[in-house]
Chains A and B, each alone.
Chain A
Amino acid sequence: MKFCLAGNPNSGKTTLFNALTGSTAHVGNWPGVTVDKREGTYKKLSEKIHIVDLPGIYSMSPYTPEEVVSRNFVLDENPDVIINIVDATNLERNLYLTTQLLETDIPLVIALNMMDVVEKNGDKINLQQLEKAFGVPVVSISAIKKDNIDKLMQVAYETSKKTRKGYSVISKTEYADTFEKFVRLYDNENCKNKIFHAVKMFEADELEVSGYPSVASAALKVKENIDSTEFDGDFEALVADLRYRFISLHMSSVIKKLKKQEVSRSDKADKVLTHRVWGIPLFLLIMFAVFHFTFSEDFLFLNKLFGVEVSGDFWLTFFQLEEAGAVPSPGVWLQSWMGWLTGSLIDLVRGWLSNSPVWLSGLLCDGLLSGLDAIFSFLPQILLLFLFLSIMEDSGYMARAAFIMDRAFRKFGLSGKAFMPLLMCFGCGVPGVMATKTLENEKERRLTMMIAPFFSCGAKLPIWLAFAGIMFAGQYGDLVVFSIYLAGIVVAVIAAMILKFTVMKGETPPFIMELPTYHLPQFKNLMIRLWDKLKHFLYKAATIIAGSIVVLWFLSNFGFAFWNGMVSIEESMLGQIGNVIKYVFYPLGFADGADGWKFVVASITGLLAKEQVVSSLEVLAGAAGFEALLGGLSVAASYSFMLFNLLAVPCMAMVAAVHGEMASGKRTWQAIGFWIATAYVVSMVAYWSIRFWWIGVCLLAVIIAALTYMYCKNKKRLQKGVC
């Protein structure tokens, strides 16, 4: 048997799903779109029940991928029962979707969630009246407390044995006769859920019209005979209005509000969190706290402010510090232990392999394990960032953050919701990309992922630090690092605008978003989400990442005559390839000269993981030394090299994450191509502009003119927000 859960976002659907399916749940993507598909099994009935969690939707209209996915599932996959979870604290809008689900012929059960909150507010909902109004069973549950969940499943199971005829709210209105004609149009069509189809045809729904062209032309003739001035012939609006009228009609008998609503806790919290003056500073403070918890070497500034220092063997070991120093933040602390774990593992394997051939221990230890170590050492911080993000999402604060920041982001064709994922990318792009799930609009999601790697992440910092210590005799180190971070933001903004105005045209998504009531995040839900991400990451690490590490290791340790055994990196395939393709990099300035190929090779290894750049350069520097190698570059070439590494493919973990979210190999390749092309162009422009300032001035003028032109040309559409 197959049951599906349908309901509004924030109605407690995921909590119910987790309570029903427990450890059997798994997450995938619906085919072709970046929408989560959750499935699991419920085992407490005589039959095993397969449960599919449909995405949270407000309506069955054809405008978002979530809606289309849900609609197709309900119509094509014949679930035995639809369990419609309804938030009792927000009945009117939640029941709007119910009126649409009623139109199908599929057995339906309403799960009335959060009744406990309603009762606490002193309100009463009459379940019998609700059952009578909608003609389907209603079970009151609490998904969080797991109250009545087994009863719900029992009722759903019994309901699935019965048949149900679709019902539309239109059939009780003055349009009943016309609607009947629409239903009859489907008499000769071989399809189920005729009432649903008839309503959609009445609405002149895009998918319906294209799906049944012959009915659509007949429908137009019927419509000509309707003399209604209401809504100027906009039948979509008319139907929406009829639905809400139907709900309002029954509301008075269903819900009894005992007392006048006082100021709720959410309103109180919102008074502060979305305050006109304090809203933005508070948001920045919260974001700073998240980063501080994850990345700070000096937790709570205990060292800087109070001179607190870690000393003593036990505490030094506990915090994994080499010498007395500041207390690290939880993120850094966990990262150190992760490093210890992988380091010990590598030593252990090296010990085992001490008698085996050099290539084997090289492949396993220096290749595979070291490569994975570089990526795994960031895993605790990735998960920690993602945890904070989930807390903000589940509590309802994320919607407020989007509300606060929307204005600033609109200019670039993004909405306020994109801010959080992009900010995450300063820490690590992987949770940032994962967080794009919170964006409603698929195009916006892709655009955000495209510019995500331009924000300088933690793994890139060592590169900037290496150059900061050498350029300008190390005098302006902080400015060098700052300028790179700034360059990343500027490139991201320009790239977003260019993409917006060219390939991802006319897509400023609307910003019609619910600000859900604040909730305390559920520990179990957070852990399930975290576990999903961890599983996903481990799977990618075992496949894409490990595969590419092995390939790169092979290329950098063997010559083209690889049967002759291992060689130094200069003679390796990678070294030789570097020596050839360095000509491609000539316009970028850092590839010429005797050492030029080394920077090319380091950049290539950087595509795998940015930690590799500095370590590759150290290996390649040889006897002359690392500093001499870097010092050999001019200021222009140094910047060019840094910018290339800033903007090109960040790491394999990021590619894997983007691939997971894009759900399309073609789009992943497009993203990779876009990053490399951007890196190449920007580095070249920077190099020649620094060498000859007038080139920079001219280019700047051209860029500004082009952007202004595109902006003005697209302004109208941006304002209309056509999507």
Chain B
Amino acid sequence: MEKFLKDFVPGEVGSVVKISNTGKIKRRLYDMGITPGAEIKLLKVAPMGDPLCILIRGYDLSLRKDEAAEVLMEVK
């Protein structure tokens, strides 16, 4: 099943299908290791509901829902 990273619930795991954002932010996401095929686990959501904290390539990364809304995932 495919869905966007922003719709994940804490604990959910999936792999990246594609990133629909363009430009700098996309490049930044790639640089941080969010590339197609990479496995992501949503660890938690900040107290005010945004940003998110994910586990990617063995480390913790935080990103906003706006950014996560562009990351299409295949749920595992």
Contact = CB atoms under 8 A, between A and B. Distances in A.
Same complex origin of A and B:
yes
Interface of A: 58-59, 61, 63, 89-93, 96, 234, 236-237, 240-241, 244, 266, 270, 274-277, 279-280, 399, 403-404, 406-408, 410, 416, 510-517, 719-723
A239 to B, nearest CB: 9
Contacts of A270: 44, 60
Contacts of A234: 26
B9 interface: no
B25 A274 contact: no
Nearest to A242: B35
Contacts of B44: 270, 274, 276
Given A59-B27, A90-B58, A511-B67, 17 more contacts: A63-B27, A89-B58, A93-B57, A96-B31, A237-B35, A276-B47, A277-B47, A280-B47, A399-B62, A403-B46, A406-B48, A408-B48, A510-B28, A511-B51, A514-B60, A516-B59, A516-B60
Interface residues of B, number: 35
A58 B63 contact: no
Interface string B38-59: 1000001111111101000111
Contact of B31 (A240, A408, A723): A240
B48 A510 contact: no
B59 A93 contact: yes
B53 A403 contact: yes
Interface string B12-35: 000000010001111111111101
Contacts of A275: 47
Contacts of B25: 510, 512, 721, 723
A489 to B, nearest CB: 18
B36 interface: yes
B2 interface: no
A721 B31 contact: no
Main secondary structure, interface of B, reads mixed
B61 A407 contact: no
Given A93-B33, A276-B45, A63 B24 contact: yes
Contact of A515 (B24, B50, B60, B67): B60
B76 interface: no
Contacts of A90: 57-59
B62 A513 contact: yes
A279 B45 CA distance: 11
B60 to A, nearest CB: 4
A276 B61 CA distance: 17
A175 B29 CA distance: 23
Contacts of B53: 274, 403, 515
Main secondary structure, interface of A, reads helix
Contacts of B28: 61, 63, 510, 512
Contact of B33 (A92, A408, A722): A92
Nearest to B24: A63
28 contacts: A61-B27, A61-B28, A90-B58, A90-B59, A93-B33, A93-B58, A96-B31, A234-B26, A237-B19, A237-B30, A240-B27, A274-B46, A277-B47, A403-B51, A403-B53, A407-B46, A407-B49, A410-B64, A510-B24, A510-B64, A511-B63, A512-B67, A513-B63, A514-B59, A515-B61, A515-B62, A721-B66, A723-B24
A94 to B, nearest CB: 9
Contacts of B19: 237
A407 B51 contact: yes
A413 B57 CA distance: 30
Contact of A512 (B49, B59, B63): B63
A237 B19 CA distance: 9
Contacts of B63: 510-513
A241 B24 contact: no
Contacts of A516: 59-60
A511 B47 contact: no
Given A408-B48, A514-B32, A403 B24 contact: no
A511 B30 contact: no
A721 B61 CA distance: 18
A394 B27 CA distance: 27
Contact of B50 (A407, A517, A721, A723): A407
Given A59-B31, A244-B35, A510-B28, A719 B66 contact: yes
A58 B24 CA distance: 14
Contacts of A91: 58
A11 to B, nearest CB: 11
Which of B37, B46, B49 has the most A CB atoms < 10 Å from its CB? B46
A406 B46 contact: yes
B61 A514 contact: yes
B67 A241 contact: no
